[in-house]
Structure 1
Amino acid sequence: MKITGKLAVVASLIAGMGAASLAQAHGIWFAQRSNQLALIYGLGGDDLDVIKRQQKVKSVSAYDEQGKEVSTQLTPSGPLLVVNTDNQPAIVAGIMDNGLWSKTADGKWYNKGKDEVPNATISEHTFKYAVHLRRPLDGAMPVLPAQKLQIVPVGKQLPDQMGQPLTVRVLFDGKPAPGAKVQPDLLNDPDSEPLKTGADGTVTIKVRNQGLNVVVAILDTPPSEPAKTNSDEHEATLSFVLQHLPE
């Protein structure tokens, strides 16, 4: 095999590892559970125990159609963390600091930095962000300063039918994030090959579901604690519901 062929194989393997990393990254999003809006932590169809991770949830906030913040709170209710929607917010957002994670060659993950797992092959500080649209907005979606990584629909209206195109812009610190990896459906197709945002931070996907949609984006940045991790992983979701036909 020629050297160029070997390099192509290596590049392909690295790309595959990147896709696998995205597919295996648990996220947070908001979804209706028994007529209540709940904060979910999981991957695909798996809802994991969010109650034991409650201390990692750093904030939950709510906004009206114009992006003005309204009061809300997150309350445990059985196995769920439920959002108070008494003020009828149009947008709900959350942030989780999921801590330091290191992976060893045998595939095991440890909730520690590489300083405590010296044989780690991957070591990262993971942050989770979530934005949920409860109803149509009066205009373009506002940029939420607390959301370090945010998925923002381009334009003033979302599609109303599955299969229609949706252009989104991924922002990091409020600025376009080129090279962010985006998947259109974290719930039902978490193993799909991610698309990458362009220089302007945008990418066009197809709306996957006539129901709950959870779009996910991941961006790796240089480590905030180089002695403990090799990178910071920021994962953001944008969730919204397309209405079904009347019964």
Structure 2
Amino acid sequence: MKTALLLVLGAGLGFASVQSAFAHDVWLTVGGKASNRRAVVNYGHPDDRPPAVADKIVDLVAINAKGRVSLLAGIEPKSEKGILVVETKPFADDTHMLLAARYDNGFWVKLPDGSYRNATRRLVPDAADSMWSVKFAKALTGSGAPWDTVLGQELEIVPLSDPAKTGIGQTLHLKVLFHGKPLAGAEVERGDGVTAVAEKDIPRFSTDADGVAAVPLVKAGPHLLVIDHKVTPSASPDQANADLYNATLWFNVAK
């Protein structure tokens, strides 16, 4: 128990539009020195980074060979240059961890004028569209992290080999699970969480009948895999038309 992890809720460029708020991603990244590690909860897209909302983080955990530690227990928010920093309890072996979070983005409605609001169809019965949005994020801090752990998230990306040991030019196979079962025909997007890419140019890799996708790793550095899954009708039909699930997996590829 020698190191402390800081949870940083990534602030961004300001929320220019809520039109695609329910389509934004949530992903975890890790930085800082060994004596002052930081986990960052990123929200949005590389070119659209509104701040994450602390109260929407349902849970955030760190998992290593010794067990699981909640990073929400006993946290005290502090303001640092517009970024919300939360110091958590120290834990050991922070370079070989799986970080995981669940983020409830709530209900969204599309008004007749085309604008969006964070509300339910019960309050806006004449909404042109409505949706519940929930997001799941995982990050691997390095080689030896428990990459094969299945958390039971409703939508989850599970590598079939250690991403940190998959070299440039090799292919990472992974399985996509929805409610614990393989999700066939889903599209896994590959990015780095830093570089803005036009929607039409984002590399996508489909899952087969077993929910497995083959993703080539073509460069060193951070990798962010993203998947969206829309379910209609919603499990709460009186409040939304559909449920939108989002899952991410972040890791680094060595040079």
TM tier, smaller: 0.7 to 0.9
> Are 1:218 and 2:238 counterparts?
no
Question: Which residue does 2:77 correspond to in 1?
Answer: 76
Tell me how far apart the structure 1 counterparts of residues 191 and 22 of structure 2 sit (CA, whole Å). Answer: 13
Secondary structure of the corresponding residue to residue 55 of structure 1: helix
Q: How far, CA to CA, are the matches of 1:129 and 1:115 in structure 2?
A: 26
Quick one: distance in 2 between partners of 1:55 and 1:139?
27
* CA deviation map 1:5-35 (0-9, x unaligned): xxxxxxxxxxxxxxxx999821111123554
Contact 1:184 1:208 in 2 (8 A): no
Please name the residue that 1:86 is paired with: 91
TM-score (normalizing by structure 2):
0.74
- Amino acid corresponding to residue 238 of structure 1 in structure 2: L
Q: Does residue 144 in structure 1 map to residue 145 in structure 2?
A: no
* CA RMSD in angstroms, aligned pairs only: 2.9
Q: 2:191 aligns with which of 185, 194, 198?
A: 185
User: Using a 3 Å threshold, how does the CA distance of structure 1 residues 183 and 118 change in structure 2: closer, same or farther?
Assistant: same
Deviations 1:96-141 (A, max 9, x none): 1000012246542211122333443331100011011012237761
Is the alpha carbon distance of 1:140 and 1:213 closer, same or farther for their aligned partners in structure 2, counting shifts above 3 Å?
closer
**Alignment deviations for residues 178-225 of structure 1 (CA, whole Å, 9 cap, x no partner):** 233320116233622644322211111222542111111111224121
CA distance in 2, matches of 1:94, 1:124: 21
Which AA in structure 1 matches 2:209? A
User: Using a 3 Å threshold, how does the CA distance of structure 1 residues 167 and 128 change in structure 2: closer, same or farther?
Assistant: same
> Aligned partner of 1:32: which letter?
V
Using structure 1 for the length normalisation, give the TM-score: 0.76
Distance 1:64 1:140 in 2: 10
Using a 3 Å threshold, how does the CA distance of structure 1 residues 140 and 211 change in structure 2: closer, same or farther? Answer: closer
Q: Could you tell me whether the CA contact under 8 Å between 1:139 and 1:157 is conserved in 2?
A: no
Contact 1:113 1:229 in 2 (8 A): yes
2:23 equivalent in structure 1:
25
Match in the other structure for 1:60: 60
Alpha-carbon distance between aligned partners in 2 of 1:33 and 1:61, rounded to the nearest angstrom: 16
Aligned length: 220
Is the helix fraction higher in 1 or 2?
1
Identical-residue share of aligned pairs (%): 29
Q: Could you list the runs of 5+ residues in structure 1 that have no partner in the other structure?
A: 1-20
- For the Cα contact (< 8 Å) 2:59–2:70, is it kept in 1? no
Report if aligned partners of 1:101, 1:124 keep a CA contact under 8 Å in 2.
yes
**CA spacing shift, 1:80–1:139, aligned 2, 3 Å:** closer
Query: How far is 1:164 from its partner?
Result: 2.8
Look up the SS of the partner of 2:77 in the other structure: strand
Decide whether aligned partners of structure 1 residues 40 and 96 sit closer, same or farther in structure 2, where only a CA change above 3 A counts. Answer: same
- C-alpha distance in structure 2 between counterparts of 1:179 and 1:69, whole Å: 32
Note the alpha carbon deviations across 1:60-79, whole angstroms, 9 max, x for none.
Answer: 0111147x313533653431
The answer to whether the 8 A contact 1:37-1:82 is kept is no
Q: Are the counterparts in 1 of residues 60 and 70 from structure 2 also a CA contact under 8 Å? A: no
User: Mind listing any 5+ residue stretches in structure 2 that lack a counterpart?
Assistant: 1-18
Tell me: CA distance 1:95–1:81, structure 2 relative to 1, closer, same or farther (3 Å). Answer: farther
| Structure-1 residue corresponding to 2:122 | 115
